[in-house]
Structure 1
Amino acid sequence: MSTKTLSVGIPCYNSAEYMDHAISSILEGAHFSDDIQVIVVDDGSTKDDTFAKAKAWEARYPDLVKAVHQENGGHGMAVLSALEAADGVYFKVCDSDDWYDGDALDSLMKTLRSFIDYDVRVDLVVTNYVYEHVEDGKQNVIDYRFALRRNKVLTWEKIGHFGYDQNLLMHALCYRTDILRDGGIPMPAHTFYVDNIYAYVPLPRCKTLYYLDVDLYRYFIGREDQSVNEKVMAGRIDQQLRVTRIMMDAYHLYDDVESTKLRTYMLDYMNLMMAVCSIFARLSDVPNARLNCDALWEYFKQYDKRMYNYCRKGLIGIGANLPTKMGEKTSIGLYRIIQKVVKFN
């Protein structure tokens, strides 16, 4: 039987400089309540005292904090280690350079407790997240007010239309722990961008969801080595292709997903993932990046022709794959216009 309401996993790799802020924001936001749990996973850090700091937090708050050490396996493996150690009915992730808003977390905890107290089965709770741009001090809030009814237990057939800037990314998601454990999450080791797998594969298992309209997750943007930095993404195109292939292989969406609205949402998500692959294959200096991306498109066509047609022959697929050198420049230019509007990296 679960002893906690919410477990929050914090994957850490050489995070000693900033991890305290993430941990303290969660404990303080939950008022150090005995039903919160923070699981700090040291992913084989090599350059600092990340694990020592995690152990110090555990020693200070032994009923609230768990310190876990693992051999270096990457972000996905650290999330899975946190999930394995979780005692909460619900599970959420906070990256070590991000943080939670205190008032918003207090609202989330009260909502989760009410579900447990009244035996209301809610598989997924959605909250807003905020891009915190360090270079100019600006914020960009991603909310779901036009896609989801607030403060109602919903099924997928009751959702509205999600804009392309409204994907249910990891930052927005609080799953019931058993949803994640039942069926697992196919996270590859030593791979970035696995948060997309986390935010995609478990969705059809969720039969009910709830939208709590609070700006909970604060997503730090601005480090030059950050995984969403454009140059970094271009250099890691092979990992983007790997993650997209895993998501693709998870479902034949037209056959496996009964809800038409959830199917459409997941098709749109896959559409964006393939467009990102196409754009960054063009931006990348990695040998054979474009050939490997073209091979993924061909695999997609053989894997599921209907899904392929939806992604390749729609406006986004066409726009991301314009032929000729001028078309390539246009595709990249369109991406950069969208990036400036949405400000996602």
Structure 2
Amino acid sequence: MQKTLTFGIPCYNSSEYMDHCISSILEGSDYADDVQIVVVDDGSTKDDTYEKAQEWEKRYPNIVKAVHQENGGHGMAVLKGLENADGTYFKVVDSDDWVDGDALKDLLATLRRFISFDTRVDLVISNYVYEHVEDGKQNVVDYGFALPKGKIMTWDKIGHFNMSQNLLMHALCYRTDVLRDGGVPMPAHTFYVDNIYAYVPLPRCKTLYYLDVDLYRYFIGREDQSVNESVMVGRIDQQLRITRIMMHAYHLYDDVESPRLRSYMIGYFTLMMAVCSIFSKLSDKPDAIDNLNELWEELRQFDSRMYRRARKGIVGLATNLPGAAGTQVTLFFYRAAQKLVKFN
């Protein structure tokens, strides 16, 4: 039968926790035949990730597909999942995360209704929850006030997104053909590609829908996790690489027709440049600041309007204050935001 929704699960040495992720989808969907789970083993080397994926496929051959590829990184695993997707819609769930069962039922009912009535909706947005394992606390990211609830809309109907409301990968369920038509420029062996995934396809989405349920549960707490601060500082070169790809994806003021979508995207891009500035300042790599300055200069030459918005606005100024004292002020505001949002 035609699949309604494909979940792509990128896995790398995920044997310890992938079962919880897969089970949450199976149980939450009531083992529905119109759901597909593509488990992508990205060349795991330390455990039996692929063998475990094959076991799931043997148990649920109509739902689970196990796929193996040579190690290419998170982005390549997402694209491999997309390549193997049979669903009208596609959603990525990382192997250490999971989904809420009741929220998944609501999502599936919504998607089935769109398909049944031949109603094209390119992007369905839902809430996600930071699950902080070290203290058992949760932080829900929803889109109240930014998006009308339960209505098919265009980008011209969206409201203002505050800095904690970016449409991260965890919130997004795309129509599969939107992702395939035009592609998603994921680099190999690079972390933080979810920012590209949550940015580049947006102008191709002509209709969207906000489902106000807390679907995605985002695990926070492993020391080796990519959003751990020390890990992010050590991978500042990858942050710069991702931001550079996002920069070159669009001349936002020329290429994005909707003023409100353009405003959202320039806000997202500005935060990416701010992240690069903050973690470059935290880095002890001798060339970190030089590489940051090169990125800013590249942006200025690529698009002067994007540069002015990103560098001369409040966020850009606050994260690029001059001198040692300016760096300390920048880091103070970063720590305050970190405690407020608890994003890593």
Residues in 2 aligned to 1:291 and 1:20: alpha-carbon distance in whole angstroms: 43
Residue of structure 2 in register with 1:248 after alignment: 247
Shift of 1:286: 2.4
Residues in 2 aligned to 1:79 and 1:21: alpha-carbon distance in whole angstroms: 19
Once the two structures are superposed, the pairs formed by residues 124-273 of structure 1 within 5 Å of their partners are: 124-273=123-272
Shift of 1:333: 1.0
Residue of structure 1 in register with 2:317 after alignment: 318
Shift of 1:103: 0.2
Residues in 2 aligned to 1:278 and 1:204: alpha-carbon distance in whole angstroms: 26
Aligned with 1:26: secondary structure?
Answer: helix
Q: Percent identity?
A: 72
Shift of 1:171: 0.0
Shift of 1:287: 3.2
Q: Deviations over 1:234-291 (max 9, x none)?
A: 0000000000000000000000000000000000000000000000001012231111
Q: Which runs of 5+ in 2 are unaligned?
A: none
The amino acid that maps onto 1:272 is L
Q: TM-score, normalised by structure 2?
A: 0.99
Q: Deviations over 1:187-243 (max 9, x none)?
A: 000000000000000000000000000000000000000000000000000000000
Structure 1 runs (4+) deviating above 6 angstroms are none
Aligned with 2:112: secondary structure?
Answer: helix
Residue of structure 2 in register with 1:30 after alignment: 29
The amino acid that maps onto 2:169 is M
Residues in 2 aligned to 1:38 and 1:287: alpha-carbon distance in whole angstroms: 44
Q: Deviations over 1:276-335 (max 9, x none)?
A: 000000101223111101100000000000000000000000000000101101101110
Shift of 1:3: 1.6
Shift of 1:44: 0.2
Residue of structure 1 in register with 2:273 after alignment: 274
Aligned with 1:186: secondary structure?
Answer: coil
Residue of structure 2 in register with 1:120 after alignment: 119
The amino acid that maps onto 1:20 is D
Alignment size in residue pairs: 344
Residue of structure 2 in register with 1:61 after alignment: 60
Q: Deviations over 1:102-130 (max 9, x none)?
A: 00000000000000000100000000000
Residue of structure 1 in register with 2:86 after alignment: 87
Aligned with 2:147: secondary structure?
Answer: coil
The amino acid that maps onto 1:60 is R
Shift of 1:145: 1.0
Most deviating of 284-293 and 115-124: 284-293
The amino acid that maps onto 1:288 is D
Aligned with 1:264: secondary structure?
Answer: helix
Residues in 1 aligned to 2:121 and 2:153: alpha-carbon distance in whole angstroms: 9
Residues in 1 aligned to 2:289 and 2:65: alpha-carbon distance in whole angstroms: 43
Aligned with 2:148: secondary structure?
Answer: coil
The amino acid that maps onto 1:70 is Q
Aligned with 1:115: secondary structure?
Answer: helix
The amino acid that maps onto 1:173 is L
Residues in 1 aligned to 2:200 and 2:124: alpha-carbon distance in whole angstroms: 16
Q: CA RMSD in A?
A: 0.6
Q: TM-score, normalised by structure 1?
A: 0.99
Residue of structure 1 in register with 2:305 after alignment: 306
Aligned with 2:226: secondary structure?
Answer: coil
Most deviating of 285-294 and 139-148: 285-294
Residues in 2 aligned to 1:152 and 1:137: alpha-carbon distance in whole angstroms: 34
Residues in 2 aligned to 1:120 and 1:150: alpha-carbon distance in whole angstroms: 17
Shift of 1:141: 0.1
Aligned with 2:233: secondary structure?
Answer: helix
Residues in 2 aligned to 1:54 and 1:60: alpha-carbon distance in whole angstroms: 10
Aligned with 1:14: secondary structure?
Answer: coil
Residue of structure 2 in register with 1:291 after alignment: 290
Aligned with 1:130: secondary structure?
Answer: strand
